[in-house]
Amino acid sequence: MKKILAGCLAAALVLQLAACGKGQPAQSAADSKPASSASSASSAVSEAESKPESQPASSAASEEEKAASSQPEQDEASSEASSEASSVQSLPADTVAMKGGPAQVDAMVLPLGKKVQVEVNGSRRWFAFTTGSAADYEVWLAPGGQYYRTIGFGIYNRRGELVWESNTNGDGSVTVRQVQLSPDTPYFATVAQSEGNHGALTFRLSSLTETEDASSGASSEETAGSAAQSQAEGILDLEGGSAQGGATAFQLEQMVRAKVNGSRKWYSFATGDGTDYEILLAPEGQYYRTIGFSLYNELGEQVWESGTNGDGSVTIRQIQLSPNTTYYGVVSQKAGNDGNLIFRVSAHFTPQDTATEVEREPETVSELIFEEPFSLDETQIMFVSNKAIFVDEEAAKAALAPVAEVILAHPDHPVLLAGTTATDGQQESCVRLSSQRAEAVKNLLVSAYGVPEDQLLTVGLGYAADPFPRGQDRDSSGNFVESEAVKNRRVVVLDANDPTAQEILNA
């Protein structure tokens, strides 16, 4: 419940790119975003180091212009949000729609104190904000529907480190949390989808002691520009060499953008008099598989390696290198990646920022319709060996009658059907079989008793992921014990809001 953006990357990565790289063409093959989005990442990097009050700049200049022309009265934060609006229409007056960025380096500026609606569509979305002089903040989360599996909300620091997280409940209710953040500091907020969700989340991050001014975007841009000027070079696009002998040189502290296009790219740099260095890696999208970054010495020996995370967050590592020595950095693509990597080797270190939860309301789980998980093992329902076919469907139907009665009496409660198996076979095949058997029970509840299909969730756990009390189907010598195995071949029925069910669904 995650590590990345630098003092350059928070207010800086989204801010320096906005100011320093303004007007540069976008390089990411994975993201078809306008040039100003890539620029905002660089700007954010430089700004976070020089003035933490700055916020990252928005993406897509052309969309901003369109929003500005259609709603000239709108303040800058609202205009930016409208330009990135999702398909959701007719929002309340106090709510704006924003897409968010695909990576920490591309995070969109979040207007503090204002409700923001984002589509939950299968990927993590990134937003950037800078705290004021206060430390106490409130996070308000409202899902657009009952998605059963939670929608996660996290706060990252500029180092790409997850410093706080919470999530929605599966029943459609609002979640409110209070958190302490460092004053005058850039942070990044993410909305992450749990498997199976497709809807919208409305959220608000607001100070408990200050009045946010959502129209302060202009002054933030000015600050970003001056901060970017303090790092004159901005982000430098370098192709990289195809081998160590033809490595492309870059300077310490220089932000470099490398194209990730299927081959290893070689770069070289020289250390100074010191020995302590920081390496920042920032993908310009969520490439899911890591982009590797390695260091080699002049003898062609690999001396260090790391890689990016798959969620678009920044990675920062600290290492020791020999003084006044040439090293070679290699950007290597893992299968399936196609985009850009921004990296920097620096003798300066990015500050660490933290967050502390002030008050966590007790989980308001409504009364469970099953106080204890209800187990249907082979003594009640028997399946054909290694298949999801009932030996006696009428007997299975009779065993499910009391279960169906309870579920039908509580139409607002989602129910989880969790299949498990004995320790007989490989876990992977057992997960598949137990999932199919849970589906068979679901189908029988729907066809025989009219239980709404969308009220029932299914999952296969096999035996290794089974959290319920199990029969000891292996003795001390490892021999299989059939009399105990029948207790483990089962479908467990429980309220989807049960803490155990939530752990299973969020795993």
pTM for this entry = 0.57
3-state secondary structure of 501: helix
pLDDT of residue 144: 86
Measured distance between the N- and C-terminal CA atoms of the chain, rounded to whole angstroms = 10
Exposure of 475 by Cβ count < 10 A (0-12 exposed, 13-18 middle, 19+ buried)?
Answer: exposed
Tokens of 375: 């187990």
pLDDT of residue 167: 85
Reported as type and span, the H/E element at residue 127 is strand 125-130
In which band, very low, low, confident or very high, does the pLDDT at 263 lie, cut at 50, 70 and 90?
A: confident
In which band, very low, low, confident or very high, does the pLDDT at 227 lie, cut at 50, 70 and 90?
A: very low
Tallying the residues shown for the chain, one arrives at 507
Average the pLDDT over each of 89-103, 352-366, 389-403 and give the range with the smallest value. Answer: 352-366
Ranges assigned E (strand) in 402-500: 415-420, 456-460, 490-495
If you average pLDDT over every residue of the chain, what do you get? 77
pLDDT of residue 197: 61
Distances (CA, A) of 245 to 160, 266, 292, 298: 33, 9, 20, 10
Tokens of 276: 């302590």
Q: Write out pLDDT tens, residues 178-219.
A: 999 999 999 999 998 765 567 889 999 999 886 654 433 333
Are 474 and 480 within 8 A, CB to CB?
Answer: yes
Helices within 121-168 (DSSP H only): none
- The amino acid present at 294, given as its one-letter code, is S
pLDDT of residue 366: 52
Place of tokens 């994975």: 30
Assess whether pLDDT exceeds 50 at residue 287.
Answer: yes
Q: Which CATH architecture has domain 13-227?
A: Sandwich (2.60)
Q: Write out pLDDT tens, residues 405-448.
A: 999 998 878 899 999 999 988 999 999 999 999 999 999 999 99
Matching fold, domains 13-227 and 235-346: yes
Interatomic CA distance for residues 343 and 291, integer angstroms: 11
Are 15 and 55 within 8 A, CB to CB?
Answer: yes
Fold observed for domain 374-506: 60s Ribosomal Protein L30; Chain: A; (3.30.1330)
Interatomic CA distance for residues 9 and 49, integer angstroms: 9
Reported as type and span, the H/E element at residue 398 is helix 393-409
Q: Choose among 90, 149, 88, 77: nearest CA to 117.
A: 88
- In the chain, count of helices (H) and strands (E)? 9, 25
CATH no. for 235-346: 2.60.120.380
In which band, very low, low, confident or very high, does the pLDDT at 50 lie, cut at 50, 70 and 90?
A: very low
Cα atoms in the Cβ-side hemisphere of radius 13 Å centred on 342 = 39
Domain boundaries, the chain: 13-227, 235-346, 374-506
Q: Write out pLDDT tens, residues 455-481.
A: 999 999 999 999 999 988 888 888 989
